[in-house]
Amino acid sequence: MRLLIKNGIVIDPSQNLNGKYDILIDEGKIRDIRTTSLDRDCISIDAEGMYVVPGLIDVHVHLRDPGYEHKETIMTGAESAAAGGFATIVCMPNTQPVIDHPDTVRYIQNRAKLADVNIYMLGSVTKNLEGEVLSDYAILKELGIVGITDDGMTLNNAKVMYEALERAREYKLLTCLHCEDKELVYDNSIHQGDVAKQLGLLGRPAVSEDIIVARDIVLAESLDAKIHIQHVSSGNSVKLIRRAKERGVKVSCEATPHHLLGTDHWVRSQGTNAKMSPPLRSDKDKKEIIEGLKDGTIDIIATDHAPHTEEDKGQDILKAANGIVGLETALGVIMTHFVHSGIIDMRRLVMLMSLKPSELFELDKGTLKVGKDADVTIIDPNKKWTVDKNQFKSKGKNTPFHGMELTGKAVMTIVNGKVVYDEITR
């Protein structure tokens, strides 16, 4: 299919582009991009007044498939991603069976061929996410995984973590880390703060994150290994990562839209839809994460898309499942509360949500360079819309953003030259 995107404001940090360009797409690739008008015999898409950016990338998605298809499937997750403007997603290994075996990798790869978006995966750091025996990184790397994580589970054993980093460095795999000292988690509820006290909960203190972040930075520094801290929630963790970067440690990190916008006070109005891991923390923590977003300490915005059934989330706060869906709300939340408010600009958004994820996970995406895959997201910055969980493509409806009015939305997602989501021409 030949497509011509006309009149849009192209923002592509990989080429230092920020202006009005026409883009020609043919046979799944970017074929031409220029400021002068391109007039070709093909399907024309008028992007007047809209941003045209490299396809968005989310490096932290729970697809639940295999094993938990009642929560999400590879296909519904991909549809949700496309609707949110994501051309590429990276799925987590906490499936059943875990992504620690060639059969599971092949299962996901085979289904991903039929999906609307590009799907990559992380393998598990340890077999069955048990924190004891390392997975076979050689086989997983050969099959195409782009990193490793025991996401949701922390390797409390420093010896296992040390050996994992050694092995990951050998196979050039990025180690992605959920940081929380299990011994400092008093109960499976919310941030240990004033709200927890008022609700009679013991909570999960921010220092439980800080301790593991500090430990893993020290281990990475000693081995000259690369680590990526997932879903940073603590202000002190941001400071630790900033200082580590300043002295040359190979550490990167991500923040979620919900940790950038929300606090533990959301639990009062949203109940278990504001319960996640790590938990929403204090206003002070949130401010530090936003500061990290502004100064470059935060490398990536990732959703930690975590679909659950109503039954999973409808239980007592101590028993309810952790997590929210985020693929279809992330861009709108960031546009509304961080771009339109002036905290970051559109170039920084594209860095956080496309180019940097591609670079860190070596995906060969995140660009509109001629000859590269035609993954494109078209964003209407002024489109006003109200989040309606009942309209989600995802099976998961667990969101604290239901009813929130947002400004800015992906109105077209193109993956390998194919339009997979369209609000412009329909």
Structural domain containing residue 378: 3-52+372-422
If asked whether residues 254 and 190 sit together in one domain, one would say: yes
pLDDT in tens, 140-194: 999 999 999 998 899 999 999 999 999 999 999 999 999 999 999 999 999 999 9
| Pair type for strands 51-54 and 3-12 | parallel
Report pLDDT for 426: 77
Burial 172-199 (b: 16+ CB within 10 A, else e): ebbbbbbbbbeebbeebbbbbbebbeee
Report the alpha-carbon distance of residue 418 to residue 412 in Å, rounded.
Answer: 10
Q: Quote the number of domains for the chain.
A: 2
Round to whole Å and give the CA distance between 280 and 339: 21
Are 247 and 142 in a shared domain?
yes
- Residue 365 belongs to some domain of the structure: no
Same-domain status, 102 and 156: yes
- The candidate with the shortest Cα–Cα distance to 232, out of 241, 244, 224, is 241
Q: What pLDDT sits at residue 3?
A: 95
Q: Are residues 381 and 335 in the same domain?
A: no
Residues of the chain with pLDDT under 70: 39-40
The answer to whether residues 214 and 173 belong to one domain is: yes
Output the pLDDT for position 312: 97
Statement to judge: residues 345 and 389 lie in one domain: no
**Chain segment 248-295, per-residue pLDDT in tens:** 999 999 999 999 999 999 999 999 999 999 999 999 999 999 999 999
268 and 377, same domain (yes or no): no
**Confidence (pLDDT) at 370:** 98
Please check whether residues 111 and 192 belong to one and the same domain.
Answer: yes
pTM score, whole prediction: 0.98
Residues that are catalytic: 304
> Is 67 a member of any domain?
yes
Q: Mark which of 307, 329, 360 sits at the end of a domain.
A: 360
Query: What pLDDT is stored for residue 37 in this prediction?
Result: 75
**Does residue 192 lie in a domain region?**
yes
Position 18 in a domain: yes
- One domain for residues 324 and 180: yes
CB contact burial 386-422 (16+ within 10 A = b; e otherwise): ebebeebbbbbbbbbbbebebbbbbbbbbbbbebbbe
CATH number of the domain where residue 9 is located? 2.30.40.10
Residue 366 maps to a domain = no
Same domain, 119 and 199: yes
Q: Do 276 and 403 belong together in one domain?
A: no
Q: Which of 360, 395, 414 is the last residue of a domain?
A: 360
Among residues 335, 360, 385, which one ends one of the domains?
A: 360
**Is residue 103 assigned to a domain?**
yes
In a domain, 207, yes or no: yes
CATH label of the domain that carries residue 148: 3.20.20.140
The number of helix segments (H) and strand segments (E) in the chain equals 14, 16
CA atoms of 355 and 369, how far apart (whole Å): 12
Q: Same structural domain for residues 17 and 152?
A: no
Helix (H) or strand (E) holding 3: strand 3-12
- What is residue 41's predicted lDDT score, i.e. its pLDDT? 80
In a domain, residue 367? The reply is: no
